[in-house]
Amino acid sequence: MPLKTIQAWKNLPPEARGASVALGNFDGVHRGHQQVIAQAAKAALADKTSLGVVSFDPHPRRLFRPTEPAFKLMTHAQQARALAGLGVDVFYLLPFDFEMASYGDREFVEKVLVQGLGVKHVAVGFDISFGRGRTGSAELMKAYGEEYGFTVSVAEPVGGQGDEKFSSTGVRDALRDGHPEQAAAILGRPFAIEGVVRRGQQLGRQLGFPTANVEVEDYVVPKLGVYATRTRLPDGREVPGVANLGNNPTTGIVETRLETWLFDFDEDLYGQIIETDLVAFLRPELKFDSLELMIEQIHRDEQAARAIVAPAF
């Protein structure tokens, strides 16, 4: 049964209520988030309910600090696919507006979770905060569960080597530092940029390496430079390649975008949605004194990327 996305919490029909849910922002659906969702899945199985995930649009940080740089790790479409892969039945993508932001922790539980969604179980992370002023906590959610008649589970911290727990902040830091493999270790998969292929200057095509250009838009901006990549096409094929993430300082400054040269591929992708994994950081973005020097470097980048993402070629 495909995942259903519900973008409301008021006046829901009976069949959209009564789930066992995981509560959080789940930007990245990383390995820590997956533990919270697994707790909700156990309850859903035991209670014979649907499995839901409750998140918010926009992210609360965007509402309160709208001028901050972009920071998202996924689009909603990517988020929905990741949740579906974990067996989630319902994705409650709730509108986070100034009304919801005004609710204290008790009001949020009573109005949204109980009266709105009719939850049977709520799974949260150990460091959850909710309600106006972020006054709600995991312990408080347990107390509200006893009061309002739903069960609560709390996922313990999950981390890699050392004491650092998996977090969306850790993913962003790794990407900004040019370490996509560290981001992938937290996410459980490579970080990927998805978007519509736009027409660029078409200089790459003229020079022998046509690129598929995608705007970065609301994503966190990883370290600018050249990456070994894998790109998923709308028909499901995966194509290795090499991409420049940046502003094109050699051929004319543009808005930050991902320009991916798909190896051994020559098909029209304009207007289609593709998703590109950043597999390995190869070098920073450079400004070249001539197109000839740039072309020489691109072919060196090609060889380095092929060794990583297309070793059979």
Sheet holding 4-6, edge to edge: 4-6, 90-95, 51-57, 20-23, 121-125, 151-155
Give yes or no: 139 in active site: no
CA distance 204 to 110: 56
Establish how many alpha carbons lie within 13 A of residue 142's alpha carbon, considering only the half-sphere containing its beta carbon. Answer: 8
What is the three-class DSSP state of 310? coil
User: Of the listed 259, 267, 275, 285, which one is catalytic?
Assistant: 259
CA distances from 54 to 10, 23, 40, 146, 289 (A): 14, 5, 11, 20, 51
Beta bridge partners of 227: 243, 281
Strands 4-6 and 90-95: parallel
CA distances from 198 to 51, 70, 161, 250, 267 (A): 37, 20, 40, 20, 14
3-state DSSP helix/strand/coil % of the chain, to nearest 5: 35, 25, 40
CA distance 262 to 241: 4
Distance of CA 12 to the CA centre of its chain: 27
Distance of CA 79 to the CA centre of its chain: 6
Distance of CA 269 to the CA centre of its chain: 23
Q: Which two tokens stand for residue 294?
A: 């740039």
CA distance 223 to 236: 28
- Which of the residues are catalytic? 259
